Structure 1
Amino acid sequence: MTTTTSDTKHALPPVDHLRFHRTHAHLAPTFGNDKFALRAEAFARFFGTPTFLGAQTLIVVVWICLNLLGVAHFDLYPFILLNLAFSLQAAYAAPLILLAQTRQAARDKAQSEADALHRESLAVANSERQAQAAQNTAQLLELLEQNTRLTEMTKALTERIESLTSEMHQHLVRKDPPNA
Structure 2
Amino acid sequence: MAPERDSTRERTPSGATAATRPRGPRLDQPRPPRRRIVPEWDPDAFGRLSERIARFLGTGRFIVWMTVVVIAWVLWNVAAPGNLRFDQYPYIFLTLALSLQASYAAPLILLAQNRQDDRDRVNLEQDRKQNERSIADTEYLTREIAALRMGLGEVATRDWIRSELQVLLQEMDERRDGRVVFPAERSSRRDVDDR
TM-score, normalization: structure 2? 0.62
Q: How big is each residue's C-alpha offset from its partner over 1:65-107, in whole Å with a ceiling of 9 and x where there is no partner?
A: 1112226511111111111111111121111111112222222
Shift of 1:134: 0.4
Choose which of 53, 78, 85 in structure 1 pairs with 2:63: 53
Q: Residue type matched to 1:100 in 2?
A: A
Shift of 1:161: 2.3
Are positions 1:40 and 2:71 aligned together? Answer: no
Distance 2:43 2:172 in 1: 87
Matches within 5 A, 1:1-180: 32-34=43-45, 36-70=46-80, 72-144=84-156, 148-165=159-176, 167=177
Q: Which has the larger radius of gyration?
A: 2
Task: Point out where structure 1 has 5 or more consecutive residues left out of the alignment.
Answer: 1-30, 169-180
- In the alignment of these two chains, the number of paired residues is 135
Q: Indicate conservation of the 8 Å contact 2:76/2:85, yes or no.
A: yes
Residues 1:150 and 1:32: Cα distance change in structure 2 (over 3 Å): farther
The farther-off stretch of 36-45 and 48-57 is 36-45
Q: Partners of 2:43 and 2:127 in 1: how far apart?
A: 23
By how many angstroms is 1:32 displaced? 4.6
Q: Deviations over 1:107-151 (max 9, x none)?
A: 222221221111111111000000000001111111046x55443
Aligned to 2:183: none
Partner Cα distance (2:64, 2:88) in 1: 23
Asked whether the 8 Å contact 2:47–2:112 carries over to 1, the reply is no
Identify the structure with bigger relative contact order (alpha carbons < 8 Å, sequence gap 6+). 1
SS in structure 2 of the partner of residue 77 of structure 1: coil
CA RMSD for the aligned pairs? 2.2
| 4+ residue runs over 6 A deviation | none
Identical residues among aligned pairs (%): 33
Structure-2 separation of matches of 1:119 and 1:140: 31
What letter corresponds to residue 62 of structure 2 in structure 1? F
What is the distance in 1 between the residues matched to 2:75 and 2:170? Answer: 113
Q: 1:32, 1:161 → 2: CA distance?
A: 91
What secondary structure sits across from 1:82 in the alignment? helix
